[in-house]
Structure 1
Amino acid sequence: MDQAQQLRNIIKQQNMQQHLARVITVTSGKGGVGKSNMSVNMAIQLGRLGKKVVILDADFGLANVEVMLGTRPRYNMADMIYGRKGIKDIICRGPENIGFISGGSGIKELSNLSKDQISGIVNMMYELDSIADVIIIDTGAGISDAVIDMVLASSEVLLVTTPEPTSITDAYALLKTINKAPGYSNDNIKIKMIGNRTLSMSDGEELYNKLNSVVTKFLHMNMEYLGSVPFDVNLTKAVMKQQPVSVAYPNTPASKSIKAMAEKLANVEPENQRQTLGGLSGLFSKMFRNRNK
């Protein structure tokens, strides 16, 4: 049995599963725009809406998420990939019972796995689907192969950008790379833009309109506007405390903005799309299939 057939068989097993996690991939065109902060605080806010949330830190080489959560995981994905630990063993708990998985060196090693290791990972993710309602993937910034692979395999992508010209340019470059990649389809990937560090609500909408106009004209891609987070000094204070701003300063403008976006996401949960794509196990299956084309 070849590797592709093994993955198809695993997906058939997934279709019999009653519960599949909703996977939300958070990405950005460049570093330093607040992507990890958005991932962590979105997880907190979705958790407060009654969702069981797990963050997968797929930003290899950096530990932004664990710093913001104030936790240091004992194990990461590499321990799972090489059979040393199971999926439940590598999940550590952050504030308000948010789950957290460190990608560690495991994310980099995803491109060099045997078919048995790939099959094992997909089955592990299938197990994670059964215990989480929402899985938030915090990707690396930019247009590395790992980021593009993860985004292309996702059905729901949050693109974080700021009003700075370099951030807008890099966000466009990321979308252009995704658009050119084999397997991309407007029908399969829903991209929602989030404006960060904006001066006002209208500033966020203006940022979206500016980026969306060139994306529509030159790339013919569909992109929605989820909302914006205003510049907030309390967010920086929260980072210094190694706490999510939603925990340290729940009533500050940044926290309220992210709460509103979380509510919007929760109210438009794509149930049919989740069932079709098969949660996180389906995402990893699709990612490995795309690499083998």
Structure 2
Amino acid sequence: MRDQADRLREIISRLKTQKEESSPLMESTPNQKKCRVLTITSGKGGVGKTTISVNLALSLGKMGYRVVILDADLGLANIDVLFGISPSYTLLDVIKNEKTIFDTLTEGPMNVKFISGGCGMQEMANLEKEQLESIIEKISFLENVADIILIDTGAGISESVIRFVLAADEVILITTPEPTSIMDAYALVKTVSYNDKNKIIQLVVNRARSEKEALHVTRKLSNAVETFLNIKPYSLGYIMYDSNIEKAIKSQEPFIISHPRTLVSRQFSEIAHKLMRVNQDRSKNTYGLRGFLHKFINVNNASWYR
């Protein structure tokens, strides 16, 4: 716990040295279509976050939504590995003004495309304001080809992860029944709560051995977050443990494609439907991708630890 607190203080100290820039581009434009931006994250690594990102995206694609996944795991980006497709370009090529944002889109199955972030998002934080405005304008064109953008972050409490969480309209938090996973998920929400008590947190329990276990984990984490952090998280559902998921990863084929008629594939579909059903009103208030990008850059005055 001591190491975790020290880590949080170090992150805050770095961010407080940055200067906040306000921008008119974040203001909504009447009748302008905006896509929804959701960050998928976890308190620790190894909980199946990226697997869920890919299969949730495909489930949404099957429903007819145009989905773009931004692989924002700055250390271990591997969306392309799970799809079995190698991208030609990354977001960094756009920032270097060598390619357009559409050049970085890699076509996947079922209405899903993905972008490898490389170190592009991290690089954005170091640009001058005029350069930033230009890059944001370029990336914002994705709203023409996407209804939903899923941001697959790295795991744990780091500066980049918290930026993505605070900037997104909504957050999908992945945990497993392991006590360390639950504790780290709580720690991540605690960090976010210091800056945004109204952040929409949605829970998914992965690798549950039974419905009873999944519901127990959901209640345990939800009660702790609501009691001590005054945030009410929402449950999107759970994914049962299935050894075939590991086989699908090794074969580089998304699970719901290789095993479409399994219980787990149905659970991915149920989570996708619930995500869209309960969030219809929320989508009207989204800042869209442009707003997300500005918030991502300006998340520098966050008071993350008290």
The TM-score with structure 2 as length reference comes to 0.88
**Alignment counterpart, residue 271 of structure 2, candidates 242, 261, 274:** 261
Contact 1:58 1:107 in 2 (8 A): yes
Contact 2:175 2:185 in 1 (8 A): yes
**Alignment counterpart, residue 89 of structure 2, candidates 75, 84, 105:** 75
Contact 1:15 1:278 in 2 (8 A): no
**Alignment counterpart, residue 233 of structure 2, candidates 212, 223, 239:** 223
**Alignment counterpart, residue 26 of structure 2, candidates 5, 11, 15:** 11
Contact 1:176 1:219 in 2 (8 A): yes
Structure 2: how far apart are the matches of 1:129 and 1:264? 23
1:141-290 to structure 2, matched below 5 A, reads: 141-180=155-194, 182=195, 184-186=196-198, 189-271=199-281, 273-290=282-299
Tell me the CA shift for residue 231 of structure 1.
0.3
**SS class of match (1:173):** helix
**SS class of match (1:95):** coil
Two-structure CA RMSD over aligned residues (Å): 1.8
Contact 2:64 2:111 in 1 (8 A): no
Structure 2, unaligned runs of 5 or more = 1-18
Contact 1:24 1:156 in 2 (8 A): yes
**SS class of match (2:185):** helix
Partner of residue 47, structure 1: 61
Tell me the CA shift for residue 17 of structure 1.
5.0
Q: 1:165 to 1:292 in 2, by over 3 A?
A: closer
Structure 1: how far apart are the matches of 2:130 and 2:259? 46
Q: Which shows bigger deviation, 17-26 or 148-157?
A: 17-26
**Alignment counterpart, residue 115 of structure 2, candidates 90, 101, 105:** 101
Q: 1:149 to 1:163 in 2, by over 3 A?
A: same
Identity %: 42
Deviations 1:234-267 (CA, angstroms, capped at 9, x unpaired): 1111101101101111112221111110011122
Partner of residue 44, structure 2: 30
What number of residue pairs does the alignment pair up? 284
Task: Give 4+ residue runs of structure 1 displaced > 3 Å after superposition.
Answer: 2-5, 273-277
Deviations 1:26-79 (CA, angstroms, capped at 9, x unpaired): 000000000000000000000000000100000012132110011111111111
**SS class of match (2:257):** helix
Deviations 1:200-221 (CA, angstroms, capped at 9, x unpaired): 2222111011111111121111
Partner of residue 57, structure 1: 71
Tell me the CA shift for residue 292 of structure 1.
5.9
Q: 1:276 to 1:4 in 2, by over 3 A?
A: farther
Structure 2: how far apart are the matches of 1:113 and 1:159? 30
Tell me the CA shift for residue 191 of structure 1.
0.6
Structure 2 residue identity aligned to 1:251: R
Q: 1:131 to 1:238 in 2, by over 3 A?
A: same
The TM-score with structure 1 as length reference comes to 0.92
